[in-house]
Amino acid sequence: MTSHQHPPEKMMFQLTLRRRGISDQAVLRTMEEVPREQFVDEADRDGAYRDSALPIACGQTISQPFVVAYMTEQLQLQKQHRVLEIGTGSGYQAAVLSRLAGQVLTVERYRRLADTARVRLEKLGCHNVEVMLGDGLNLPPNIGPFDRIIVTAAMEQIPENLIERLEVGGILIAPVGPHQGVQTLIRLTRSAAGIERKELVDVRFVPALPGVAREL
């Protein structure tokens, strides 16, 4: 359905991802299959497949396709993995994760975004995703551990209590840096010997804020 609606845009979308270095065929296929236009506001649907971030409700954004594909590729997902996402937003990243992993728990602080994402994901058949309204910076102790953790909002530093939820052999990806400005994507890999940290690429994300939003 999507490819009939947006053939030139979808072709450029895939070409752009490949040109920018995305090579994992499972990730490319998933990016092709998930209908991005279903996750943006109606007014932005004509531009859904451009390689740019777009505004969504509650002052948040849906990340540009390259960043979604890049972060997903860096997670090295397998079907048995249990994934935690901090920052559901539109639900687009969770939809991508759902096709590559076994289970996805995605946490959102805005009720409006959580409720809308839940409906979208259910409609698209992403039945292995649970959307939770909550504070991604202060999760309940009974949640976890996870094979993979992805943070889709800017953190000034990665909280220790998030790193502790990572299984041995697990990978965590998060944008780290000042809330206003440029962040660097950081990949943490947990081994029996400890945590290995690697800086990846510069990005811009909206801030990760504590607490559940009182409104919206």
Q: What's the distance, CA 113 to chain centroid?
A: 14
Task: Describe the crossing of helices 25-33 and 65-75 by its angle, rounded to 10 degrees.
Answer: 140
What is the C-alpha to C-alpha distance for residues 10 and 4, in angstroms, rounded to an integer? 9
Tokens describing residue 44 = 């932005």
Contact 65, 49 (CB under 8 A): yes
37 near 6, Cβ under 8 Å? Answer: yes
117 contact partners, CB below 8 Å, separation of at least 6: 88, 89, 90, 91, 94, 106, 108, 131
Q: Report the catalytic residues.
A: 63
